[in-house]
Amino acid sequence: MKIAIIGYGRMGREIEKMALDHGHEITAIIDNETDWDNKRDVISGADVAIEFSMPAIAVKNIRRCFEAGLPVVSGTTGWTDSFEEIRKICLEGEHAFFYASNYSPGMNIMFELNKNLAAFMSKYPDYRILVEEIHHSGKKDSPSGTAISLANEIIRHHTVKDIWVNRPSKSPNELEIISIRRNQVPGTHFVQYDSEIDSLEIKHTAHSRKGFAYGALHAAEWLAGRKGCFGMKDILYDEK
């Protein structure tokens, strides 16, 4: 498979290494406007683009890939206020787009556990709910896209919470997300239900970025030949 990498930060470099180890070819690396100017013709020869860039330029990058006729796998977080815009362009143009806030297989299993746990815990409103995320100090968005995904699923399936806030809160309807930044932390996400009688917790700890790179590469392979908008649930329930 011929891959164009859009965004050459920590994740871009990890994806490049893993892709080459798996026998794929990197046809272009796009990391700035000059790269877009100089490599626009080259990128159209790829089979798929894997995009891990910055929130401020993610939408522009995705649109450019669509214009080049490329399927896109995106893992950039912090831009999803524009998700419906991208979804509309994808579907109307018959493109292929895959998005996940977190590509770790283990994290996506936690998403499913989190959703079901929130539904169960709706019956026990005395429990205080907390979402905590810890990432490396260079992460630009706060809270993380993964923490937002966890919080939104809790709100969707829990009868008490109807909004998340990125700070401590004692308001019954507000769901706390606590964001912590430390050096050399790939990503830790923690959901806790706490009461006077006991506590219940689910937690995912990434040991390195390899799991994210593996998931993104697997998504790129899975996306081949498909049209439409997809996410990790499509892979989780399509494994054969």
> Which residues, in sequence order, are bridge partners of residue 202?
191
Of 225, 136, 131, the C-alpha closest to 183 is: 136
SS (H, E, C) the chain: CEEEEECCCHHHHHHHHHHHHCCCEEEEEECCHHHHHHHHHHHCCCCEEEECCCHHHHHHHHHHHHHCCCCEEECCCCCHHHHHHHHHHHHHCCCEEEECCCCCHHHHHHHHHHHHHHHHHCCCCCCEEEEEEEEECCCCCCCCHHHHHHHHHHHHHCCCCCEEECCCCCCCCEEEEEEEEECCCCEEEEEEEECCCCEEEEEEEECCCHHHHHHHHHHHHHHCCCCEEECHHHHHCCCC
Residue with tokens 């490396």: 136
Considering 95, 135, 158, 204, which one is annotated as catalytic?
135
139 as an active site residue: the answer is yes
Considering 17, 22, 39, 139, which one is annotated as catalytic?
139
Catalytic residues: 135, 139
